[in-house]
Amino acid sequence: MTVVVVLDIDGIVREQQSLMVEVRSADGHLPAAMAAVRRALLGLEATTLDGISSGPAFVSSPIPVPGAQLLVVDLGRLPAEQVLGVPELLVRHLHGAGVRDASVAVTRSGRVGPIGDVGPSARCYLRASLGPPFGDGSAASPWPLLDVALDWLHGTRGPTDQLSALVLGLQVPLTAETARPVAAAVLATLPTATALTVLAGDLTDRLVAATLGVDRALPAATLTVASSDPALADLPGRMRALRDLLRGHASTLLWAGVDAEPDGERVLAPQWSQRPAVDGRPVDRRPGVELLADVLVPDAMWCQILSAGHLARLGGLPPGAMPLPHGRAELTIGEAEQWLPGHPDAPAVRAQGRALLAGCLVTAAQARQMSAARARGSAPPC
């Protein structure tokens, strides 16, 4: 029995600063061994030529996955002699903790293809209850979004599509069985202000992606499906399917929206972000209102799920809205086809939506003022 190092770890470590280390073993000593490896990595430190003492930029807690444990490591500015000693450090601490049968491998960063080239996409934005100090949601609030996102992804991907997780620039193969435990472990382990994306498709001609934010105070997710072949894309059909998804999960959502995008850019971000032009026209920048998702919306979209705070600011159900259980409402404006990039009706339906939702749309300055008030614990000004 021995610890076997697979792949060209020395070469990969020499070339990469960000790594995903996988140690696969059925040995019961593995959790303690991985904790020891993490402590050893965090203890690495050296003084650079400019006199700055530096260690690894980030070392995650061990992430348990079926049959293995993972460490996400950013080696930062460590000098070459310490970087090249990482493989030996791994083996030494595994042996020291009593692990006698294991394989060690690393995953390179930068393997994701040109996602923005997949063509127009149907996009869905999901927000769950805000955690403290921005709302009273529980600390476990990301998990309902994880279930919604992965159920959708498994139902949308092709039967032969390969699954992978992308986190901190590193892509890790998944199976249908390991997708949820790996995603849950990553969400529970990584620091805030990062994101996890589960991908399916070839990422250049077809894409199915679910991205979840790690920040538990601001649980957010985006769902994206796209194809470079218009005959296969069926964006209106994809948008209607996403609306059906929202209807089925409205009670767990604080806000949600379905829209069409001209490409696959920002697939890896859980936040909404406006483009410099919409429908081919320059626009004033609108804020993402992440901290205020219970009372504001970022922009007009084909379909949105609104909760009690939105309806209060709008003075009740807006024209055309449909009431849903648990105080939610659905507002769909026009037909999905009218919202497609380049459609002649797109400017008019977006303007209609902005008029209907005017009470929930604010400027960037107003959003900053309201967010600051909420962070201080006071009621946001109207």
Q: Which domain holds residue 23?
A: 3-107
Q: Where residue 37 sits, what CATH number does that domain have? A: 3.30.70.360
pLDDT at position 189 over 90: no
Domain limit, last residue, from 107, 140, 163: 107
Number of domains in the chain: 2
Q: Tell me, what amino acid is at 354?
A: R
Q: What pLDDT shows up at residue 251?
A: 92
CA distance 356 to 40: 57
Q: Do residues 256 and 170 share a domain?
A: yes
pLDDT at position 96 over 60: yes
Q: Do residues 170 and 308 share a domain?
A: yes
Domain limit, last residue, from 72, 107, 142: 107
Q: Do residues 16 and 159 share a domain?
A: no
Q: What pLDDT shows up at residue 381?
A: 47
Mean of the per-residue pLDDT values for the chain? 84
pLDDT at position 12 over 70: no
User: 123 and 259 in contact (C-beta within 8 Å)?
Assistant: yes
Q: Do residues 126 and 183 share a domain?
A: yes
User: 157 and 201 in contact (C-beta within 8 Å)?
Assistant: yes
Average of per-residue pLDDT across 41-52: 69
User: In the structure, what pLDDT confidence band is assigned to residue 172 with cuts at 50, 70 and 90?
Assistant: confident
Q: What pLDDT shows up at residue 58?
A: 82
List the alpha helices (DSSP H) in 225-345: 230-233, 235-249, 308-314
CA distance 84 to 106: 14
Return the structure tokens found at 242: 């996403």
| Choice among 38-52, 73-87, 152-166, 300-314 with the minimum mean pLDDT | 38-52
Question: Per-residue pLDDT tens for 204-261?
Answer: 788 899 999 878 788 899 999 988 876 667 899 999 999 999 999 999 999 999 999 8
Q: Do residues 128 and 90 share a domain?
A: no
Question: Per-residue pLDDT tens for 117-147?
Answer: 788 899 999 999 888 878 877 655 457 799 9
Angle between helices 30-42 and 86-96 (to 10 degrees): 140
More confident residue, 42 or 217: 42
Q: Do residues 129 and 232 share a domain?
A: yes
Q: Is residue 380 part of a domain?
A: no
Q: Do residues 46 and 170 share a domain?
A: no
Report percent pLDDT > 90 for the chain. Answer: 40
Domain limit, last residue, from 67, 84, 107: 107
Q: Is residue 97 part of a domain?
A: yes
Q: CB neighbours (10 Å) of residue 379?
A: 9
Question: Per-residue pLDDT tens for 270-326?
Answer: 989 877 666 666 566 789 998 899 999 999 999 999 999 999 999 999 999 999 999
| DSSP letter string, 54-87 | E--SEEPPPEEETTEEEEEEE-TT--HHHHTTHH
Alpha carbon distance, N-terminus to C-terminus of the chain: 67
Q: Do residues 152 and 201 share a domain?
A: yes
Task: Tell me the pTM.
Answer: 0.83
